[in-house]
Structure 1
Amino acid sequence: MLRAIFLTALMASPVLADVTSPSGKTVECYCTDKQRNRVELGETVCLQVDGRMFMAQCQMSLNVPMWREVQKGCLSSSLDGGDNLSEPGGINPKI
């Protein structure tokens, strides 16, 4: 019974991201973005593929780093073209 609990706990633990090569060297695993910048496992970025934009997370699949879609669309912020934040306009100077 104790052995079954130990094996279950072992299977539920997170898998380490580093891979050991046959020569015994540790190989770092990471993804790359469009500009070939390194993106660590677990990081989430906005990707644009074939005109479609989505949030993707760098994950491992069968010992290979890959991008997995985690949300449709991308998080963004923008200002309406009519807003001019450099001019206070509606602020009461007596406050």
Structure 2
Amino acid sequence: MKHASALVVSILMAASGSAWADVTGPGGKTIDCYCTDKSGSRVELGELRCLQVDGRMFMAQCQMSLNVPMWREVQSSCLSASLGEVPGLSSEPLVLPHL
């Protein structure tokens, strides 16, 4: 049952995105909680990025841990796509008739 509760919390955090990004601190001051990418741009809680660390690439999610935003590995490799040749598919441009 404990595992199911953790799964539900993880799903809710991922689905809510920036809804959990603000924390009210002492005196009612709002503190923004978010991660940053390698260029220093803001990344909201729950967002996924492909990270490269020490020559290794993996998918990571911006999450909170002990009230600190951090990157957590969620997949051991990154998603990728290729625009290379597809066997059996013509590389000639498609010409559509004028209607």
Give CA deviations for 1:16-42 in whole Å, capped at 9, x if unaligned.
Answer: 442222121111110000000110000
| Counterpart in the other structure of 1:22 | 26
RMSD after superposition: 2.9
What 5-or-longer segments of structure 1 have no aligned partner? 1-11
- Number of residue equivalences: 77
Alignment match, 2:56 = 52
Is the partner of 1:23 in helix, strand or coil? helix
Q: Identify the residue that residue 63 of structure 1 maps to in structure 2.
A: 67
Q: What's the counterpart of residue 36 of structure 1?
A: 40
Q: If each structure's helix is expressed as a fraction of its own residues, which one has the higher value?
A: 2
Alpha-carbon distance in 1 for matches of 2:26, 2:73: 31
Question: Contact conserved, 1:44 with 1:57, CA < 8 A, in 2?
Answer: yes
Name segments (4+ residues, structure 1) moved above 4 Å.
12-15
Instruction: Determine whether 1:88 maps to 2:92.
Output: yes
Q: Which has the larger radius of gyration?
A: 1
What's the % identity of the aligned pairs?
69
TM-score by length of 2: 0.65
Deviations, residues 66-86 of structure 1 (Å, cap 9, x unaligned): 000000110011233xx4x9x
- Structure 2: distance between partners of 1:88 and 1:39: 40
